[in-house]
Chain A
Amino acid sequence: MATTSELMDNLAEDPRRRAPLVLGGARFGDVTSSVCGVTEMPKTPRAWWIAFLVSVGMLGVLGAMLVYLISTGVGVWGNNIPVAWGFPIVNFVFWVGIGHAGTLISAVLFLFRQKWRTSINRSAEAMTIFAVACAGLFPAVHIGRVWFAYWLFPLPNQMAMWPNFRSPLLWDVFAVSTYALVSTMFWYMGMIPDLATLRDRAKSRARQIAYGIFAMGWRGSNRHWLRFERAYLLLAALATPLVLSVHSVVSFDFAVSILPGWHTTIFPPYFVAGAIFSGFGMVLTLLLPCRKFFRLEHLVTPRHIENMCKILLATGSMVGYSYVMEFFIAWYGGNAYELFTFKNRALGPYWWAYFIMFSCNVFVPQIFWSQRVRSSALVVWIASLFVNLGMWFERFVIVVTSLSRDFLPSSWGYFSPTWVDILTLAGSFGLFFTLFLLFLRFLPVVAMAEVKSVMPQALHAAEKEGHRPFGDYWPDVPHDEREGGGPSPQEA
């Protein structure tokens, strides 16, 4: 029998077997009760209420700022020529980037058969959708006259004109709205079996009806599972190129222009790496307190955190490489304007923003080379806050420094945000956290069905016939260490 410390620690590297994904010797029913328990608490925890009230307060600030903006005009923001993009576009790119980690975890890691994703994919996908909601807000209000927002879409309008499909800004409209819709469907479809679990456990009539409607009458039929799994695989295969395209298209907004500092071919991969980096930062920021508070440590295990830290290290280093390579190309390319822009970025009036960006995104993740750091939840959480900060400043540096000093010194300017800019940004966090807290309280935070399917008890059958349609998909936990024990099929 394994000791308690072995049951709660899956960090040991033993090449002969895969680390368990669910700890504490849990059985199927334990997964159900610990995940459902989060939404079934008879009394809403006080900490949740405090967090919720703060978030809703910030959401109220967002509402007030939007009313003020729309009733007065975009002059309430700091944006002006030459920096016409300012905070709204910085915030848009920031929030879209946050969303990318959710899709990466749910779709890309699914295709790569990284089964550790199962206990974090649901909350990461929720984060994606809420982040995209925050992102979508900013371009919508940035157009100035929001009542004409439908001009962005190919809809008949009073001018009898169609949008210009050769503009990257319109590609953005299609990419982000497709992304929002596909992510929502992927999230909701994966949740249907778990909503059925909540329906079947519901005690009150209201919960039975509410979960019942959204569970769509799911009854765990294997004929349904067959099509469900196929549809899930298809959605994952569609979401994978989609997520890569979304931030590439966002980067086209910059790269297709002729502005020094924007007009570069490194932007699409650099933006995608940055998006994944910032998204994993946000996943850790959200998940570490949640797992502690709702006692989900046996599902979101130290290994999950360790893996995410390694991804932060990898993507943070990719972002660092991009920063350096941009400088190299600015020098090597021999374009005087390009070289000036990059010198100005690092040493000009916005040197402080560049400094925050570089230190948070490149230096901070380097601490994850150390296993001791990776296994300290508090240090990881603090580092994740720096990652969020650094990635916001990356977008600030890209948007503002290039615009503020372009080809013509007579049109140079210095951008300063107004109080409306700052409160709108803070308010968007209110929107994000309000949605996330509602998700925590009312929806299954961990994909129960998926977690159960990677538990050792679920795997006997496959092993029994030596049937491995997906190759080495099932973990190689020695047979005698599993529930039930007994001789392995080779010996029998």
Chain B
Amino acid sequence: MGGQRRLWGLYVRLDEVPELIDAAEVVRDAGYTRWDCHTPFPVHGLNEAMGLRLTRLPLVVFAAGAVGAIAGLAMQWWMNAVDYPLIISGKPFFSLPANIPIVFEMTILFAAITAFVGMLAFNGLPRHHHPLFAVDEFRAATDDKFFIVIEADDPRFDENAARQLLGRFGEVREVWE
């Protein structure tokens, strides 16, 4: 039955955080790149154990905030001073202090939307179908168990070597495409 389907990857289930960290370090040092740990909560120290680099998200969010600030200022200037100059109690059409609150709110708005949408986009979410969802046991990944998965797409992937490597930490099982 399994022979007709393509192997998507191999996984091993772990029960405790320290085992997970140890195992992740081993997989990292074996040079795999297309692999992942699945955990019910963000495990601190795991990013280092997996050798992950920081994300570019903050730079994108900063840029979006800057765009929001400029957009907020430009909007107020164009609408109140250029397109329809509005005379209010003899106040200047365009004066920075009165425009700051909206500039501030627009900065936050643009940056926050970008942080939320950017997180999903960089993570490739929403993605409602994934080979891992076919594994019944994998449901515990959002409860109390930890999983290490090596994908068959990994350039270094060799089924026997990967089995041997993961076998050091527990029973190795297959994920089918």
Spell out A's residues near B (CB within 8 Å).
27-29, 32, 154, 160-168, 170-171, 174-175, 178, 181-182, 185-186, 189, 193, 196-197, 199-201, 212-213, 216-231, 234-235, 238-239, 241-242, 245, 249, 252, 448-450, 452-453, 457-462, 464-465, 467, 469, 474, 484
Contacts and interface: CB of A to CB of B under 8 A. Distances in A.
Interface string B79-116: 11001101010010001001101101110110111011
Interface stretch (B2-10, B53-61, B164-172): B53-61
A462 B46 CA distance: 9
Given A165-B98, A197-B143, A234 B105 contact: no
Given A219-B132, A461-B17, A228 B42 contact: yes
Contact of B101 (A160, A171, A464, A484): A171
A228 B119 contact: yes
A453 B45 CA distance: 12
Q: Which of A161, A223, A239 has the most CB of B within 10 A?
A: A223
Given A181-B109, A226-B52, A452-B40, A162 B80 contact: yes
A161 B101 CA distance: 21
Interface of B: 16-18, 20-21, 36-50, 52, 54-55, 57-58, 61, 65, 75-76, 79-80, 83-84, 86, 88, 91, 95, 98-99, 101-102, 104-106, 108-109, 111-113, 115-116, 118-120, 122-123, 125-130, 132-133, 138-144
Given A164-B88, A449-B42, A464-B18, A217 B129 contact: yes
Contact of B79 (A154, A168, A186, A229): A154
Contacts of A459: 17, 44
Contacts of B38: 219-222
Secondary structure of the A contact surface, majority rule: helix
A235 B112 contact: yes
Nearest to A181: B109
Contacts of A181: 109, 112-113
Secondary structure of the B contact surface, majority rule: helix
B123 A227 contact: yes
Contacts of A227: 55, 57, 119, 122-123
Contacts of A200: 139-143
Contacts of B88: 164, 166-167
Contacts of B80: 162, 164-166
B58 to A, nearest CB: 6
Nearest to B149: A221
18 contacts: A29-B143, A32-B144, A162-B84, A166-B88, A171-B105, A174-B106, A178-B108, A178-B109, A221-B37, A245-B101, A245-B105, A449-B41, A449-B42, A452-B40, A458-B17, A459-B17, A460-B16, A461-B17
Contacts of A162: 79-80, 83-84, 86
B75 A154 contact: yes
Given A162-B79, A197-B40, A245-B101, A231 B46 contact: no
B133 A213 contact: no
A203 to B, nearest CB: 12
Nearest to A185: B116
Contacts of A167: 88
Contacts of A458: 17, 41, 43-44
B113 A185 contact: yes
Nearest to A249: B101
Nearest to B89: A166
B144 A189 contact: no
A230 B48 contact: no
Nearest to A200: B139
B45 to A, nearest CB: 4
A164 B36 CA distance: 53
Contacts of A160: 84
Contacts of B138: 219
A295 to B, nearest CB: 19
A230 B142 contact: no
A174 B101 contact: yes
B98 A166 contact: yes
A404 B114 CA distance: 45
Nearest to B95: A166
Given A181-B109, A200-B142, A461-B18, A224 B44 contact: no
Contacts of B105: 171, 174-175, 178, 242, 245
A217 B126 contact: yes
B97 to A, nearest CB: 9
A189 B115 CA distance: 10
Given A28-B143, A181-B112, A219-B132, 6 more contacts: A162-B80, A178-B105, A219-B130, A222-B39, A453-B43, A457-B17
